[in-house]
Structure 1
Amino acid sequence: MITEHEGPGSLVILANFVSPLAVGLHEESVLRQWSRQAPRKLWLTRPGDVLITPVPLSDAFRRYVFQRLGIPDGAVDIIVVPDTPHVPMAEALAGHGLLESLRARVGERPTARLLPTALDEASVALAMDLRIPVMPYETGVPNRATLRAVAELNTKSGFRAVAHSLGIRLPRGRACTGAELDRATGALLGAHERVVVKPDRSAGGHGLHFLTRGERTARPAQPPEGHWVVEEYVDHTRAVSAQGHVTAALTEVVYDGEMRMNGGSFAGYRSPLTDLSGPARQELTAWTGALGRHLALEGYRGPYSLDAVSAQDGTLYALECNVRRTATTTVHALLSRLTGTDHPLPAWATGTAVAASPMSFDAAVTRLAEAGLDYRPGDAEGVLLYADRPVHGTDWRYAALATDRARLTEVEAGLAAALGHDRS
């Protein structure tokens, strides 16, 4: 488990998926979709903690999590912040009259610390209003220069600039404005059969457009003031990612894995990496470490990830970094917590299992139990439903754990069979 989840004092866990760090606040639909994953943050809680979430948690999910964590029901305060378009979640607290209630809770917890999902200006302002530190900053809160560096590295152009300075291999490409996009795309298509057009600030594959030379493919809308990155498309065998963590004393690579992709969008993860050549995996580790040391110099503390693809000839190309808590950070933390080990996990994965028909949360857990897959603390293998019941009751986000890669494949196949549908 990463360091900020350890030690005394309560955490105020801010699940601020609605933040301008990953995408623009005008992207209401994608922010709303990401916010549905906020219930997974309940796995980070301990008695006395406060969870601030953009979506309510079902009673069944809350019982499920607390039973496995050994936490009494009611020992964690949960504050739900209703959706507020175009406003960062940390600011929306005041607009919904929830700030005074939060101040009162913090007043009862003199050693409380704020743990935001995204380190944006609004979350730091909230910590200062509450007079509590942001974890894991030894100075209490990061300075403005650090916030600027974090915001910049969460853009495609900002990452490319830093990667160039660190000697990290990138696909050929360039950053441009919307007014320059057609010209930049045409020039790159003149040299490469296929290119990718990316909004400068985007995440999880949102907003990507793939264009092929000679095809009449619609280009994305291009307001002149917008910012984009156009890159050659790297024909690849797999997409990979490594997760790093920065403290005042140490930068380390915590885990790596292969990303499951669906149309350029993140759809799951399998760790550790096993199908990448030794030199390529070492290169990914070295790049991730170099990026972490750069972040440390910028004053950043906490988790970050580096995403890359392996080309047909085995050459590795970095695509982007995520300087925030990612889709795998909480899952890795909860699995480490439930297994009770600080050693690398043997084999684990995340994904979405599609049920043949809608079902309740309790019914889905019953299916797992009947299949012998319902994970309990200390088990060597099993499945956890880590993000509450999906909206339509069919697409279940899960984490799976096993003793090795072959057994992990069997566990995931068992989950698909238990829900009556193929795994996606």
Structure 2
Amino acid sequence: MDGWVGAWTGGRAAVHIGDVADFNAQFFAPGMDAAQRARRLRQAHHYACLAACYSPEPALLVLPAEVDPQWTDWLARELEWGPVEVHSGVAPGRTLAEALAGRPALAARIADSGRPVVRWGRTGAQGESPELAAVRRYESKAAAHDLFTALAPDHPGIRVPEQDRPDGRRRAARRLTARAARGRTTVLKSPHGVGGYGTVVVEPAELFAAGGGGALLRLLVRDEILPPQGELLLEEYVDPGPSARLRDLTYDALVGPDGTVHPVGAGAMDVAGTHYQGATVGPGAVPHDAAETARRFTLAVGERLAAEGYRGWYDVDFVTDRQRRLAPTEINLRLTGPAVAFMLRERLDRVRGPGHLVRTLDAMPLGARLGPEALYDHLERLRPRCARLDVTLLPLIPTAGHDPEPAVGLALAGPDADALDAAQALLTAANDALTGMFEALR
């Protein structure tokens, strides 16, 4: 099989390992206390439910959190999967590697499956390798910036934001204050962070309201937005201007086993502040010129990663400026939320015919806390309403419905953006209405 699907799994049903927490734990900052570590593991275990879609078709699925079989049955029915062997609830409060070390039969089942094994990303559990060294290097937003700077002169339409690397946090606080005094908004970054953790946009008014750069840094650490220790990067805020319809883009690609770089596609991301919320991929999701600029640059990044030994999925994230140029901001050397949208699009196009637009909504708020059965019933009532809009509803993250801030991760697939917008509005209204329903029972 040609193209990225062939390079990823050879077009075969695969073993999917939901090891998001394992990947993230490699980059936990020194000084993170046990309570914060536990919270981040729990959040990662929710996100690991996306493992159902780490390739277009799973054969065996390993999840750290407990899921109801109704969930995987729903996905299998809509996506026309064959039988899926599901092992869920295997790693509460632990990484998946720690859990599998205590479950040798399951570890052997994975190793002896004879199928491709796909994971969220490379970790030390698979042994030291050039691939892991590349992950550790370029997951750093400082090293990624250096690579962007080296490649950009050969790529019209790409502009790299300025980045300052102060020596120590006191100096970072002083420079942050000086930038604010000049009226400059700053993107403050820890070199490593995922899902928005370790990155924050600092506006001058916010800094001065906090009492200066040092006070703001202490506040951001207290609120678990920044790690308590380590280097900080001060990056230029790229202003999109008054028309910011196309603000956050991503381009996904992969390096095949032989080192060949395969393009996957461009996606329009939904980012609230610095927190990724979801993505839309498919025909027209990203204008052609922007997609081509992102493609050329991302493939050049991939050639460099391949030369250093990296093999696997990666993406480059961009923001757009007032001149509609693309500013690269980071490399993710792993699967990503948008990658799941591409997997879904590939599968739906294969089994139902081409032309699907897919939108992932990773954490849609719920108006009330719902247990697994109640959440399934809620979504099942919404499924035919979405279908009347010619939109397929797919539940992706069903484990956070009973959290203190309840949410559900979903995907929508349809013929065009208007249909997806209508279905998303329907879902938002129905989720919000849960508040009133439960208040009426008091």
TM-score, length of structure 1 as denominator length: 0.80
2:254 match: secondary structure: strand
Q: C-alpha distance in 1, partners of 2:57/2:292?
A: 40
**Shift in Å at residue 74 of structure 1?**
7.0
2:402 match: secondary structure: coil
Aligned residue identity for 1:162? L
Residue of structure 2 equivalent to 1:35: 45
Deviations 1:294-352 (A, max 9, x none): 11112222211111111223232111111100112123213422342699754221124
Residue of structure 1 equivalent to 2:398: 388
Residue of structure 1 equivalent to 2:239: 235
Q: Is the 8 A contact 1:194 1:212 kept in 2?
A: yes
Q: Is the 8 A contact 1:15 1:51 kept in 2?
A: no
Aligned residue identity for 2:176? T
2:197 corresponds to 1:200:
no
Deviations 1:273-312 (A, max 9, x none): 8586654433222211111111111222221111111122
Residue of structure 2 equivalent to 1:415: 427
Q: Which runs of 5+ in 1 are unaligned?
A: 126-142
2:117 corresponds to 1:114:
yes
Q: Is the 8 A contact 1:241 1:308 kept in 2?
A: yes
Q: Structure 1 residues 306 and 193, CA, compared in 2 at 3 Å: closer, same or farther?
A: same
Q: Structure 1 residues 22 and 270, CA, compared in 2 at 3 Å: closer, same or farther?
A: farther
2:21 match: secondary structure: coil
**Shift in Å at residue 230 of structure 1?**
0.7
Residue of structure 1 equivalent to 2:350: 340
Instruction: Determine which of 86, 92, 98 is the counterpart of 1:82.
Output: 92
Residue of structure 2 equivalent to 1:161: 146
| Between structures 1 and 2, the one with greater helix share | 2
TM-score, length of structure 2 as denominator length: 0.77
Q: C-alpha distance in 2, partners of 1:224/1:48?
A: 39
**Shift in Å at residue 79 of structure 1?**
6.3
2:235 match: secondary structure: strand
Aligned residue identity for 1:102? L
Where relative contact order (Cα < 8 A, 6+ residues apart) is larger, the structure is 2
Aligned residue identity for 2:97? A
Deviations 1:337-387 (A, max 9, x none): 234269975422112444444442331232223414399xxxx63221112
Q: C-alpha distance in 2, partners of 1:12/1:370?
A: 29
Q: Is the 8 A contact 2:75 2:395 kept in 1?
A: no
**Shift in Å at residue 35 of structure 1?**
1.7
Q: Is the 8 A contact 2:251 2:298 kept in 1?
A: yes
Instruction: Determine which of 130, 137, 159 is the counterpart of 1:145.
Output: 130
1:4-403 residue pairs with structure 2 within 5 A? 4-7=8-11, 11=15, 13-19=17-23, 20-21=25-26, 23-24=28-29, 26=32, 28=37, 29-44=39-54, 49-70=59-80, 75-78=85-88, 80-84=90-94, 88-94=95-101, 97-98=102-103, 100-106=104-110, 108-109=112-113, 111-122=114-125, 124-125=126-127, 144-167=129-152, 169-179=159-169, 180-186=171-177, 188-189=179-180, 193-213=184-204, 215-217=208-210, 218-221=215-218, 226-236=230-240, 237=244, 238-247=247-256, 248=258, 250-272=260-282, 274=284, 279-340=289-350, 345-351=355-361, 352-359=363-370, 360-373=374-387, 381-392=391-402, 394-403=406-415
| Percent of aligned positions that are identical | 23
Aligned-residue RMSD, C-alpha? 3.4
Q: Which runs of 5+ in 2 are unaligned?
A: 153-157, 222-226, 435-442
**Shift in Å at residue 184 of structure 1?**
3.9
Q: Structure 1 residues 345 and 301, CA, compared in 2 at 3 Å: closer, same or farther?
A: farther
Q: Structure 1 residues 385 and 91, CA, compared in 2 at 3 Å: closer, same or farther?
A: same
Q: C-alpha distance in 1, partners of 2:353/2:305?
A: 25
1:260 match: secondary structure: strand
Q: Is the 8 A contact 1:37 1:387 kept in 2?
A: yes
Residue of structure 2 equivalent to 1:130: none
